[in-house]
Amino acid sequence: AVVGVALLPMASLRWFRRTIPLALLLLLLLLYLCAWSFCEWSLPSWPHWAAGRRRPSGLGVLLPPPSAHVYPQVPLQSGPLEAPEWEEPQCVGPQGVLGRVMGPFHASLNPEGDVALSQYLAGWKALVRFLTPLGSIFAFATSEAFAKVTALEARVHGPEAAHYSSLTAMVAWERREGLLERPGIAPPDTASSSGSRILLLLHRALRWSQLCLHRVATWTLGGPDAGVQCSDAYRTALGPHHPWLVRQAARLAFLAFPDPDRWLELACPGAGKAEARAALVRVAGTLEDVYNRTQGLLAERGLLQLA
């Protein structure tokens, strides 16, 4: 009996040692299940600007859409089981800073595949108002753009307004009337230019604005400076068409390029950085849509070398 009593602690010890691995395995399994459940429930609701994007299997991995525009993602946040719906910043609403730019530009893309000039010019005026407070480089660019907008607007609302309702109508009428300049022959000033040539100059400036907006919106800490990226966009879109002296002046102006935070503050007052960045990308996407359609229409009519 004494021996049996002495063997009890030894048996208990052996049993305890054998149960340790099983207990650890159960603990790890429980932790894994908890982590998986938390990731599944903490995903935010699908924002409306990402509609149509597929949600793959896995722990919250998001794939970019097949389109060319990749919208910044809102960081995952812990909270209730059902996250609140995405709230569109006021800046992209009809009365918002960026909404006043996007609205008329989007409206200029008529269903017939043409570009409505009155809406196109309204979009440009809103874009000029947005870019002007951002510094000398934009004052330099927008002052030229505003002069061209004014000159083309005089035709859109002038005696021959019926021929200036859209890009296609304008080009057809000016070609029929012999108003188009020969490639390489520049008129003495903007006022004496054809409407088609003025539009081409605005078209190139729009490409620079679109590239610059997109690069500021997608700028990341530690990456190339936003000013450097916009300067590179200038060399791509406008530099080849400017004389050497103008290119040097633009290069110096880019040295005082505003901080990206300044862009976001002016673009979306009161909004968070993630929302402001997403809004800027949306504007850049709208400008790209307008640019692509205009580029196609001008190319079909052999007018890309008009100026």
- Whether the CB-CB separation of 134 and 124 falls below 8 Å is answered with no
CA distance 299 to 306: 11
Closest Cα partner for 229 from 244, 219, 238?
A: 219
Residue with tokens 């995952």, as numbered in its chain: 76
Tens of each residue's pLDDT in the chain, 307 residues: 444 444 444 545 554 455 555 455 445 444 443 443 333 333 333 333 333 333 333 333 333 333 333 333 333 333 333 333 446 778 989 889 999 999 999 999 999 999 999 999 999 999 999 988 876 667 667 778 888 999 999 999 999 999 999 999 999 999 999 999 887 677 877 778 999 999 999 999 999 889 988 888 887 655 667 777 788 888 888 778 878 887 787 777 777 777 778 888 888 988 888 899 999 999 999 999 999 999 999 999 999 988 7
Q: What is the pLDDT of residue 224?
A: 65
Question: CB count, 10 Å around CB of 90?
Answer: 18
CA distance 298 to 196: 9
Domain boundaries, given as residue ranges, for the chain? 97-300
Which stretches within the chain are classed as H helix? Answer: 2-42, 99-108, 117-131, 136-156, 167-176, 195-217, 226-237, 244-253, 260-267, 273-300
Using CA atoms, how far residue 22 sits from 8, 30, 136, 279, in Å, is 22, 12, 70, 53
- Whether the CB-CB separation of 200 and 304 falls below 8 Å is answered with yes
Residue with tokens 């330099």, as numbered in its chain: 140
CA distance 158 to 169: 15
**61: number of CA atoms within 13 Å, CB side?**
5
Tokens of 214: 């997109």
Question: Hey, which residues does 115 pair with through a beta bridge?
Answer: 109
- Specify the long-range contacts of residues 102-108, CB closer than 8 Å, at least 24 apart: 102/282, 102/283, 102/286, 105/286, 105/287, 105/290, 106/286, 106/289, 106/290, 108/290
- The pTM score is 0.69
User: Would the CA dihedral through 266, 269, 273, 276 be positive or negative?
Assistant: negative
Q: What is the pLDDT of residue 163?
A: 97
* φ, ψ for residue 172, nearest 5 deg: -60, -45
In eight-state DSSP terms, residue 191 is G
- Whether the CB-CB separation of 237 and 295 falls below 8 Å is answered with no
CA distance 132 to 130: 6
97-300: which CATH topology? Glycolipid transfer protein, GLTP (1.10.3520)
